[in-house]
Amino acid sequence: MHSATLAINETLEARRAAGQKVLHLGFGEAGLPVPDSVAAVLAGAAGRNSYGPVVGSPAAREAAAGWFSRRGAKTGPEQVLFAPGSKPLLFALLLALPGDVVLPCPSWVSYAAQASLAAKRTIDVPIPAESGGVPDPRLLEQALGDAQATGARPGILVLTVPDNPTGTVARVEHVREVCAIAEKWGLVVIADEIYADLVHDGRAPRATDFLPERTVVTTGLSKSMALGGWRIGMARVPHGAWGRSLLNDLVGVASEIWSSLAAPMQAVACHVLQDPPELMRHVDRSRRLHAAVAQAAHAEFVAAGAVCRRPEAGFYLYPDFAPLRPVLAGQGIDGGAALAEALLERHGVGVLAGEAFGDAEDGLRMRVATSLLYGETAAERRQALECDDPVSLPWVASSLERLRGALHGLARQG
């Protein structure tokens, strides 16, 4: 089955191409232009046409080691593996590591789908009220015990800090507590940190601080640098013998599936991962833009009567329309899929129903990506990035106004 996020992107793009006016809130694309220096590095590396080592070039691994170390996780180049995106790395990890997969619920669409491709069971544990990306520590042990009693073998715990779909950052005590439980149960933690550079204010807690010897980190340049289509991802395995052996297993998978990250992309990684000042500024500005637009969209959902955690990182919201259940029932809307369909068909707004992230069918939640509101053209997006008050730009303001109209239409109709 086609991944729900990529599928909705294609559906919405096709509608736009057919001339329909659609507000695209369905896809987790960072929606920002490529910085000139990065485009220049890629152009200059076009002649690099060798496969190169499966793990990545020595220079790129060295740059990645410095990048992780500057962010608080001391790392040697031998702990790094590159790949065409972090998605294949997550799948390689699920193939290489034993046991079933414990997931926060809701969580990013591909974890459960990949676990199923790897013939693993998933154990869904609800997230805490405060923030997503981690299972509620008060529910985790019970869920592990129940899963074991039904024949599951929990082996892997996936954490997404900061989180997609909720756009929040797990509380440090929750990360600490779930890592302690992972240690007690012998679980390996996969820490998906792809949004770590996009915390609106402050830093995200890291599982590597609490369970360094059993945490594997995946990340990449798709979100912080908005380079999703360039497919640059990397993993960091723990220091020591277990990490080395896991890296070997990952290389086994990688060498049979993707061989290596495209050599010109490794040149890009090498440049970006050195954190040159102009790129630090670029990420800084994008963080500000994501925060401003996500907060403005959050206000619209809350004003329409939905409940929604405040956005803390990246460019997502996960509103819950449960308070409007009676009004929505009057329109024949009894679950997330019907809600998403009504928003698209009646109001021209594309979102992803909570079901794609593990919610029950009768839930009224949806994932809203706000990053495609920055503009239709590269020039508009560049302006949004440089503007101190991007929400006041005419094209951003008019998109938010359209959203307001759609949500009020939905909430009003009886």
Binding mask 96-125 for ligand PLP (x = CB under 6 A): ------------x-----------------
3-state SS of the chain is CCCHHHHHHHHHHHHHHCCCCCEECCCCCCCCCCCHHHHHHHHHCCCCCCCCCCCCCHHHHHHHHHHHHHCCCCCCHHHEEEECCHHHHHHHHHHHCCCEEEEEECCCHHHHHHHHHCCCCEEEEECCCCCCCCCCHHHHHHHHHHHHHCCCCEEEEEEECCCCCCCCCCCHHHHHHHHHHHHHHCCEEEEECCCHHHECCCCCCCHHHCCHHHEEEEEECCCCCCCHHHCCEEEECCCCHHHHHHHHHHHHHHHHHCCCCCHHHHHHHHHHCCCCHHHHHHHHHHHHHHHHHHHHHHHHHHHCCCECCCCCECCEECCECHHHHHHHHCCCCCCHHHHHHHHHHHHCEECEEHHHHCCCCCCCEEEEECHHHCCCCHHHHHHHHHCCCHHHCHHHHHHHHHHHHHHHHHHHCC
Contact 261, 82 (CB under 8 A): yes
Candidates 9, 57, 79, 86; binder of ligand PLP (CB under 6 A) is 86
> According to CB under 6 A, which residues from 282 to 311 bind ligand PLP?
none
CB nearer to ligand PLP: give 164 or 286. 164
Task: Provide CB contacts within 8 A for 172, sequence distance 6+.
Answer: 205
Q: Does 31 bind ligand PLP (CB under 6 A)?
A: no
* Span near ligand PLP by CB under 6 A; candidates 43-51, 79-87, 291-299, 336-344: 79-87
Q: Which stretch binds ligand PLP (CB under 6 A): 37-45, 84-92, 174-182, 331-339?
A: 84-92
Smallest distance from the beta carbon of 110 to ligand PLP, in angstroms? 7
Q: Of the candidates 195, 113, 183, which has an alpha carbon nearest to the alpha carbon of residue 154? A: 183
Q: Tell me the closest approach of the beta carbon of residue 325 to ligand PLP, in angstroms.
A: 28
Query: Residue with the closest Cβ to ligand PLP?
Result: 85
> By C-beta, is 228 or 276 nearer to ligand PLP?
228
CB 148 within 8 Å of CB 123: no
Among 228, 305, 323, 409, binds ligand PLP (CB under 6 A): 228
Q: Write the binding mask 190 to 209 for ligand PLP: x where contact by CB under 6 A, - elsewhere.
A: --x-x---------------
The distance of closest approach from Cβ of residue 220 to ligand PLP in the complex, given in angstroms and rounded to an integer, is: 4
Q: Is 348 a residue that touches ligand PLP (CB under 6 A)?
A: no
Q: Does 167 bind ligand PLP (CB under 6 A)?
A: no
Beta carbon nearer to ligand PLP, 28 or 56: 28
**With respect to ligand PLP, which residue has the nearer C-beta, 152 or 283?**
283
Contact 238, 79 (CB under 8 A): yes
Please, which residue, 33 or 220, has the CB nearer to ligand PLP? 220
Instruction: Please identify which residue in 31, 106, 205, 233 interacts with ligand PLP, judged by CB under 6 A.
Output: 233
* Binding flag, residue 85, ligand PLP (CB under 6 A): yes
Task: Indicate which single residue of 222, 260, 286, 371 sits in contact with ligand PLP (rule: CB under 6 A).
Answer: 222
368 versus 406: smaller Cβ distance to ligand PLP: 368
Which of residues 26, 104, 220, 350 is near ligand PLP by CB under 6 A? 220
Among 61, 71, 87, 120, binds ligand PLP (CB under 6 A): 87
Peptide bond into 212 cis (omega under 30): no
Taking the C-alpha atoms of residue 321 and residue 160, their distance in angstroms, rounded to an integer, is 24
Number of residues that bind ligand PLP (CB under 6 A): 13
Closer CB to ligand PLP, 159 or 338, in the complex = 159
Point out which residues bind ligand PLP (CB under 6 A).
28, 85-87, 108, 160, 164, 192, 194, 220, 222, 228, 233
